[in-house]
Amino acid sequence: MKNVCSHPVFRAILCSLLVFSGPALRAQLFRNFDNSAVPDNACGSNELEIPTEVSGVGKLNLAEDKGVVVIFNMTYTYVGDIKISLESPAGTRVLLFNRHGGGGDNFQVTYFAYWDNLDPISAGTAPFYYYFNPDESLTAFDGEIAEGTWKVIVCDAASGDVGTMGTVSLVFNNTGYFK
C-alpha cells in the first residue's frame, strides 16, 4: 500500500496549510480530486472543466490579500499544447497558462498566485513546479463574491499528445509565504 504522505500533491497541500496558517488563520482551501483525462485537440468544443464548490469566503480584493491561489498537478506529454483558465461563479475567466514550455512534460505541483515578486509562468520551463504569476492578472476577480462554483478549464490546442489533470486546489484569503 502506497503511503499517501509521500505523494507530492499531499506534501504541497500540507505545506500550503502550514505556511498559510498562523495566529490569524484566514486561508480557506477548496479541492477537487478529479483526475480526468484532458480531451485531445478539443479547445472550444470539448474542454475539460473541473468544478470546485466554494463557500464562506466573501468578496475578493487582492489589495487586501483577499484573492485566490490555484494549485494543481497534471501529467501531459507536450505542455506547449495546453491552455488553462480559471472561471469564477460570475463568469469572469482568467487565462492562467497559454501554451508555454514547448515539448516539455508535466506540471508537478504548480501554483498560480498574485504576488508581485513571482516570475511569470512564461519564464518557466517544464516540468512546471512552484509559484508563478499567471498569463492574465487574477485582479480580474476583484469585487466578485467568491461563493459558488469555480472552474479550472483545461484545453489541448493540438492533436497527438495526451494527459491527465490531477488534483485542483483553490486557496482564498491568504497572506502568502512570499508577501
In the chain, where the domains are located: 4-172
**99 pLDDT above the threshold of 90:** yes
* Dihedral of alpha carbons 89, 91, 96, 99, sign: positive
Place 11 in a pLDDT band, splitting at 50, 70 and 90. low
Q: Please state which CATH class domain 4-172 belongs to.
A: mainly beta
Comparing C-alpha atoms, which of 31, 35, 75 is closest to residue 52? 31
* Predicted pLDDT at 128: 95
* Predicted pLDDT at 62: 83
**9 pLDDT above the threshold of 60:** no
pLDDT tens track for 122-154: 999 999 999 999 999 999 999 999 999 999 999
Least-confidence region, from 4-18, 67-81, 82-96, 139-153: 4-18
Comparing C-alpha atoms, which of 60, 47, 64 is closest to residue 88? 60
Comparing C-alpha atoms, which of 137, 146, 130 is closest to residue 116? 137
Reply yes or no: is the peptide bond before residue 127 cis, omega within 30 of 0.
yes
Per-residue pLDDT averaged across 88-103, rounded?
A: 97
Place 49 in a pLDDT band, splitting at 50, 70 and 90. very high
- Sheet arrangement for strand 148-156: 48-54, 148-156, 82-87, 93-98
Return d(Cα 140, Cα 56) in angstroms, integer. Answer: 20
* Predicted pLDDT at 24: 43
Give the length of the chain.
179
If 0-12 CB within 10 Å is exposed, 13-18 middle and 19+ buried, where does residue 125 land?
A: exposed
Return d(Cα 30, Cα 35) in angstroms, integer. Answer: 16
For 167, the grid coordinates are: 488534483
**1 pLDDT above the threshold of 90:** no
